[in-house]
Amino acid sequence: MRAKAKRYPKEAARLLRERPSVREAVTGATLHFERNRLRAYGEIDTEAWRERARRVKDHVLTHLDHYLELAEGRLRENGVQVHWAEGPEEAHRLLREVVARHGVRRAVKAKSMLTEELGVNPLLESLGVEVYETDLGEYLIQLLGEPPSHIVGPAIHLTLKEIQELFHGRFGTPPDAPPEALAQVARRVLREAFLTAELGISGANFLVAETGTLALMENEGNIRLSTSLPKVHVAFVGIEKLLPRLQDLALFLPLTARAATGQRLSTFVSLLQGPAREGEEGPEEVHVVLVDHGRTALLADPEAWEVLRCLRCGACLNACPVYRQTGGHPYGYVYSGPIGAVLDPGLLGLEEAYPLPYASTLCGACQEACPVKIPIPRLLLTWRHRAVEEGLAPAWERGAIGAFARVMGSPALYRLLSKALRGLPLPQELQVYLPVLKAWAEGRGPLRPSPRPFHELWKEIKEEARGG
C-alpha cells in the first residue's frame, strides 16, 4: 500500500466533516472491543501474563538470528519451501513464479496486514489472478476498493446500511437485507472461490522456531479453508513474528485473543506443519516467506525497536480516543492508530510518516491495553523529538515554541505576557502566539483569564493569617 501518511491532519479533518457515520461506527465498535478486553483481562493475572509475554518477545528479538535460522531449518524439515524477502520486490517475484508454475487463475486470501504492506493484491491482479479476501470484513472493503480501517476489524468503519447498499448494488440483495442474509451471499461466493482456487495466501500470527509451526488465529474458519483447499499455500511472515517454543503458544494465543476481542481463545486456531504427507489432505506445496521490509533496521534502533514486540492485536486502536474519532483511513498507511504512529515512522521513514507521531494526546490508554507492554507514549515522544531535530516541525510551531521558551525562561517576560492576556496589546516579540490563540478560540470560544493571575494574588495572601 502506498503511504499517504503525510496527509493525516487534513484527512482526519475531512473525514470528520464529510463522513460523520465513520466516527459513530468506529466509536461504537471500539468501545465494544474495549469493554470485552477489560472483562477478559479482569479474569487473569494480566500483569504477570503481559510481563511474561514481553520477556519472551524481547528474548526472541534480541536473539533473532538464532531463531530465524532454527525456524528455517525446521520448516525445511517439515517440507516447507522457505524464502527470504527484503521487501515487496522479492515477495512479488516469488508470487509471480508460483502463479506461472501452477497456472494460477484464482487465489483465496486470509486477512493479513503484512500482505497489505507488500501490495500482494494489486500484484496478483496485475498478473490476471482473481483474488478473494475470505475474511468477511476484509471482503467487504475489497469490494469497496478501500484499505482496511483496523488491524483486526478491517470494516469496522462501515455501517450496516452501507453494507446493505453495497450488496444491493453488487449481488441484488434487498436494500434492507438482514446481516444473516448478507453473510449467506458472501458465503456462497466465497465457497465457490475456495473450491476453485489454485492458490491460498495467508499471513501468520506466530511462527514457532523450534518446530517450524505456523499459528493462525481467526473466528470465521476461512483461514483454515484458504490454507488447506488450494494445492499451493503461501504464507507471508514478518521476521518479528517468531516465538521460541511450541509451549509459548499457550501464553500468546489466549493473550492475543483477550487483548484483541476479549475472547479467551479465538474460535479457530490453525497450527500448520507443512504440506500434506502421504494419505493426508491439504496443500501439496507450502511456501513460507520471511519478510524483513524495514524490520532489521528498526531492530537496530536502540530507541525505537520495542515496537517490534507488537502482536497486531489492535487493542491499542480500540483503547485510543484519537483513533475512535476517525478510524484508520486518515493515518494513510496499513498500520493506523497508536501502533501505526510508532511503527510507520520506523518502516516508512520519519519524513514520510511525519505527522503520525502527533496523532496522540499521550493519554497512555494504548500502553495500558497493550498485551506486550509496548511503551507507545514514550516511543511517540522519541519520534517527535527526532522530527524536531530533523527540522520537520512546521515554522509556526518552531516560532511558537521558541517564543514560549523565551517567555517562560524569563519571569519578567512572563509577567508581560500575563498582562497582555488581560487586555494590554501583545508585545511584538509575543505576537507569534496570536495564530495559536486564534486557532484555539475557534472551537472553544475566547480564552478568559482569571481577573488577576495567581502570582499577583499571592502578594495579598502571602501574609494572610494562618490556620484557615
Partner 1 sequence: MRVALFITCLADQFYAEAGVAAVRLLRALGVEVDFPEDQTCCGQPAFNAGHWGEARALAKRSLEVFREAEYVVLPSGSCASMVRNHYPELLPGDQGALALSEKTYELSQFLVRVLGVEKLGEGLRGRRVAYHHGCHALRELGVKAEPLLLLQNAGAELLPWEAAEECCGFGGLFSVKLPEVSLSMADRKLATLPKAEVLTSTDAGCLLHLAGRMAKLGQGVRVAPLATLLWEAYAGQG
- Binding site residues, ligand SF4, CB under 6 A: 151, 259, 310-316, 339, 369-372, 374
φ/ψ (deg, to 5) at 96? -55, -45
Contacting residue, 4, 23, 105, 231, with partner 1 by CB under 8 A: 23
442 binds, among ligand SF4, partner 1, none (CB under 5 to 8 A by kind): partner 1
38 binds partner 1 per the rule CB under 8 A: no
Rounded Cα–Cα distance for residues 409 and 431 (Å)? 17
Nearest-approach distance from CB 32 to ligand SF4, in angstroms: 16
384 binds partner 1 per the rule CB under 8 A: yes
Cβ 255 vs Cβ 309: under 8 Å: no
Rounded Cα–Cα distance for residues 101 and 90 (Å)? 17
Nearest-approach distance from CB 338 to ligand SF4, in angstroms: 6
313 binds, among ligand SF4, partner 1, none (CB under 5 to 8 A by kind): ligand SF4
Instruction: Find all residues with CB under 8 Å of 101, minimum gap 6, and list them.
Output: none
Contacting residue, 401, 424, 427, 429, with partner 1 by CB under 8 A: 401
445 binds, among ligand SF4, partner 1, none (CB under 5 to 8 A by kind): partner 1
Q: Which three cell numbers stand for residue 39?
A: 472483562
Nearest-approach distance from CB 413 to partner 1, in angstroms: 9
Give Rg (Cα) of the chain: 26
358 binds partner 1 per the rule CB under 8 A: yes
Rounded Cα–Cα distance for residues 296 and 374 (Å)? 18
Least Cα distance to 202 among 140, 298, 302, 132 occurs for 132
Contacting residue, 17, 48, 65, 172, with partner 1 by CB under 8 A: 17
CA 172 from chain centre, in angstroms, equals 34
370 binds partner 1 per the rule CB under 8 A: no
Where are the strands (E) in 203-339, listed by range? 206-208, 213-218, 232-238, 242-243, 268-272, 285-291
76 binds, among partner 1, ligand SF4, none (CB under 5 to 8 A by kind): none
Of 46-54, 107-115, 201-209, 399-407, which segment contacts partner 1 by CB under 8 A?
Answer: 399-407
Least Cα distance to 341 among 1, 4, 2, 5 occurs for 5
The footprint of partner 1 on residues 413-442 (CB under 8 A) is 414, 418, 421, 436, 439-442
327 binds, among partner 1, ligand SF4, none (CB under 5 to 8 A by kind): none
Least Cα distance to 333 among 151, 459, 182 occurs for 151
Nearest-approach distance from CB 228 to ligand SF4, in angstroms: 28
Q: Which three cell numbers stand for residue 211?
A: 518446530
55 binds, among partner 1, ligand SF4, none (CB under 5 to 8 A by kind): none
